[in-house]
Structure 1
Amino acid sequence: MHPEQAIDDLGSGTPLVLLHSSMSSKSQWRKLAEQLAGRYRTLAIDLYGYGEAEYPATPEQFTLTQETDRIETIIRQSIGDQPFHLIGHSYGGATALRYAYAHQSNILTLGLYEPVAFHLLEPNEPAYQIIREVAERVAEYLNQGDIAAAAGHFIDFWSSPGTYLGLPAERQRILEHYIPKVSLDFQAILRESVKAADYRTLKLPICMLRSQESPLPTRRVAEVLENTLPRLECHWVPGGHMAPITHAEIVNLHWIRFIQQPHHTVPQAHEPR
């Protein structure tokens, strides 16, 4: 691994680690990093299979723990044992949440935008069934070799029907390159064994943003977490699931305000799980 190729390391000051959504890369955080450059050292990391990061070596065995283990390695190589803030969006949010569960002792605050932690839902509830169907349809298209259909189905679910076909050809090509990793993201999330009650051990300050315009599955995950996390503040924002990209000027104000709150302190150390 060459982490320096998979990180945008900007600014100076207290570190802030940023984890992007599926079908995206570290570049989605550039606006936030530029806003904070004079006060924070932002480390935007490409997750497995995105941007300049390597693809998982054993895809069929890929887990969320493997994703978080890689993040841990990159963080330690970059900033050592320094306390840091952590923010994640969508799949990056689910990764950040799982990472914090195992490594909260060095995390100052945790910011989540609609973490897709679908393993926290009950298998018989409609929200879970909806997302399970999306994951199965993407996998089916990939097995058939129809990469464009897989990418289109995924993008249109999170945005709106016809979104994918309306994108420039070059953007479609990039998304088609990423769609096999999206299927692994679903695999990792849906096989994760951590339950909602387990996250009650997270004692650090957490800010979660969500949108009324987002699909039911992510709103349900947010509801579960709102009823579980002990030090959580929640805010509604406009723009749907991709608001950290499409409405960055609004979303970023929440992140900046949250990490600058003076009452945040390094939480007590907990044994990794």
Structure 2
Amino acid sequence: MQSEQVITERGTGTPLVLLHSSLSSKTQWSKLSEQLITGYRIIAIDLYGYGESEFPDSPNQFSLAKEAARIARIIRQHLGNERFHLIGHSYGGATALRLAHENPSRILSLGLYEPVAFFLLDQSEPAYRIMQQVEQQIASNLAKGDIPTATAHFIDFWSGQGTYQGLQVEKQRMLDRYIDKVLLDFQAVLREPLRAEDYRNLALPVCLLRSQESPLPTRRVAEVLEHTLPRLEAHWVPGGHLAPITNADEVNPYWINFLRHLREPAGPEEDERAKLLL
């Protein structure tokens, strides 16, 4: 059985699974967990290669499907066949989308913050090419053994030029430890075979959050999702791509209100709409 260290489980009630971003861990959800501990059984999971989790076997054959399959196994070990809410940030959001595609009947709702689901984009558009260039730069630096430059390229892309250099050395070294998995994350989302049309029938209630301060590629993914998922609500929030970590007080109320609304009894119109979806 998967080590208990790769998850934190708190509270009682309806299960809520949380998937973190690249270069992060399950601990990024501590504030949201505190806010939802009454009424939800919260399960925050370390994705492959982060926190207490092991690095994936056969990295040359790694894929988003394998990431999602591992999460599905862990969820099954802890929840059996019980249904659950699912929230994912960045790479955790892309993993959540893959998990929802494979297991739509298991998931009660989907919360997404700027999922890096670049596979939803046309490969000829600038936003996709930008991410290809980021991946290639990280891969090139790692091939030369220049781990700090690889990590800096990733951090500065999302948080602004000079961000990595401004961190304390201890923080830099901690982030450097995970950059090999970051490259696998990029490769997984850029090589994922599913496309936007594969998600058009995903009839889950979805809350999508995005920021005007984020780079173009994640804003484009958000646009595609808005035109693809039939039961999606979307909101703009401040703080950029890392807002669930840096601006949790502004982001979390959207998750809390979304989940609260789903718990309230549906009115006649909602009942009729639900019947049409069955």
Instruction: For residue 48 of structure 2, give the secondary structure of its aligned residue in structure 1.
Output: coil
Q: Map residues 49-198 of structure 1 onto 2, 5 A cutoff.
A: 49-198=49-198
Distance in structure 2 (CA, Å) of the matches to 1:136 and 1:208: 28
Paired residue type of 1:172: Q
Is 1:209 the counterpart of 2:238? The answer is no
Paired residue type of 1:113: Y
The alpha-carbon deviation at position 170 of structure 1 amounts to 1.5
Distance in structure 2 (CA, Å) of the matches to 1:223 and 1:25: 27
Instruction: For residue 29 of structure 1, give the secondary structure of its aligned residue in structure 2.
Output: helix
Conserved 8 A contact 1:212-1:219: yes
Gaps of 5+ in 2: none
Conserved 8 A contact 1:11-1:38: yes
The alpha-carbon deviation at position 10 of structure 1 amounts to 0.9
Per the normalisation by structure 2, the TM-score is 0.94
Per the normalisation by structure 1, the TM-score is 0.96
Conserved 8 A contact 2:119-2:195: yes
Conserved 8 A contact 1:3-1:74: no
Conserved 8 A contact 1:203-1:230: yes
Distance in structure 2 (CA, Å) of the matches to 1:167 and 1:15: 36
The alpha-carbon deviation at position 136 of structure 1 amounts to 0.5
Distance in structure 1 (CA, Å) of the matches to 2:66 and 2:101: 14
- The residue aligned with 2:2 is 2
Paired residue type of 1:183: L
Distance in structure 1 (CA, Å) of the matches to 2:141 and 2:9: 36
Gaps of 5+ in 1: 269-273
Distance in structure 1 (CA, Å) of the matches to 2:156 and 2:12: 38
Distance in structure 1 (CA, Å) of the matches to 2:196 and 2:71: 22
Instruction: For residue 13 of structure 1, give the secondary structure of its aligned residue in structure 2.
Output: strand
Q: Please identify, of 221-230 and 165-174, the stretch whose mean Cα deviation from structure 2 is larger.
A: 165-174
Distance in structure 1 (CA, Å) of the matches to 2:31 and 2:170: 22
What is the aligned-residue RMSD (CA, Å)?
1.5
Conserved 8 A contact 1:12-1:37: yes
The alpha-carbon deviation at position 219 of structure 1 amounts to 0.3
Cα deviations across residues 101-153 of structure 1 (Å, max 9, x unaligned)?
A: 11010111100000000011111111011111001000100000000000000
The alpha-carbon deviation at position 3 of structure 1 amounts to 3.4
- The residue aligned with 1:228 is 228
Instruction: For residue 104 of structure 2, give the secondary structure of its aligned residue in structure 1.
Output: helix
Distance in structure 2 (CA, Å) of the matches to 1:12 and 1:173: 37
> Which 4+ stretches in 1 moved above 6 angstroms?
none
Conserved 8 A contact 1:101-1:201: no
The alpha-carbon deviation at position 44 of structure 1 amounts to 0.4
The alpha-carbon deviation at position 2 of structure 1 amounts to 2.7
Identity of matched residues, %: 63
Distance in structure 1 (CA, Å) of the matches to 2:260 and 2:67: 28
Cα deviations across residues 46-103 of structure 1 (Å, max 9, x unaligned)?
A: 0000000010000000000000000000000011111110000000000001100110
- Specify which structure has the bigger relative contact order, considering alpha-carbon pairs within 8 angstroms and separated by 6 or more residues: 1
Distance in structure 1 (CA, Å) of the matches to 2:79 and 2:228: 30
